[in-house]
């Protein structure tokens, strides 16, 4: 599994949190909201891991609004999940690429999107040279 370091696409602040370790790595901190429930959520930074620490109790199947803990921008993108039609949450990753995750609790859809495929795949390989070798050229990698 690869560890990802993500930033807010709006204020460019790192979303990595060293105080809450998940899977032995710094977690990704976001604010989440559903109705009146509001709290911090920490996601595993290992791509493919679904480990979380949450301040609120999740309802399976519910859609949550993810926002940046620094600038409060809503991180939901215009894309909808291919599996369940919920809004997709986007984190900025290397260069212009993005980590995309579904905002519906329980849906395991997530992917990495490269804007400039060639340039960013090579940047990606420079960082994660041991990983993803068999999937070169594919737009996403699923982990179920």
What are the structure tokens assigned to 81, written together?
């999940």
Site string for Zn ion, 58-87 (x = CB under 5 A): ----------x-xx-x-------x-xx-x-
Cα dist from 5 to 12, 59, 132, whole Å = 12, 27, 17
Beta bridge partners of 63: 104
Candidates 97, 104, 120, 124; binder of Zn ion (CB under 5 A) is: 104
Using CB under 5 A as the binding rule, the residues of this chain from 34 to 53 that contact Zn ion are none
CB-CB neighbours of 33 under 10 Å:
15
Q: Quick one: which of 107, 117, 125, 141 contacts Zn ion (CB under 5 A)?
A: 107
Separation of alpha carbons 120 and 142, rounded Å: 19
Tokens 């309802």: give the residue. 59
CA-based nearest residue to 30, from 58, 65, 57: 65
Q: What is the DSSP letter of 86?
A: P
Is 30 near Zn ion (CB under 5 A)? no
Listed ranges 44-52, 99-107, 113-121, 126-134: which one lies at the site for Zn ion (CB under 5 A):
99-107
From 109, 111, 114, 120, residue interacting with Zn ion (rule: CB under 5 A)? 109
Size of the site for Zn ion (CB under 5 A): 15
- Per CB under 5 A, contacts with Zn ion among 5-24 are 8, 10-11
- Contacting residues toward Zn ion, per CB under 5 A: 8, 10-11, 68, 70-71, 73, 81, 83-84, 86, 102, 104, 107, 109
């Amino acid at each position: 599994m690869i560890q990802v370091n993500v930033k807010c696409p709006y204020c460019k602040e790192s979303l990595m949190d060293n105080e809450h370790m998940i899977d032995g790595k710094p977690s990704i901190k976001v604010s989440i909201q559903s109705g009146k429930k509001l709290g911090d959520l920490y996601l595993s930074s290992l791509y493919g891991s679904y480990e979380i620490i949450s301040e609120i109790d999740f309802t399976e199947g519910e859609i949550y609004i993810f926002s940046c803990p620094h600038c409060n921008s809503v991180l939901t993108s215009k894309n909808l999940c291919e599996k369940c039609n919920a809004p997709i949450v986007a984190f900025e990753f290397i260069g212009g690429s993005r980590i995309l995750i579904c905002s519906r609790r329980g849906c395991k859809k997530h992917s990495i999107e490269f804007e400039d495929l060639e340039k960013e795949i090579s940047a990606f390989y420079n960082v994660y040279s041991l990983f993803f070798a068999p999937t070169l050229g594919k737009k996403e990698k699923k982990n179920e």
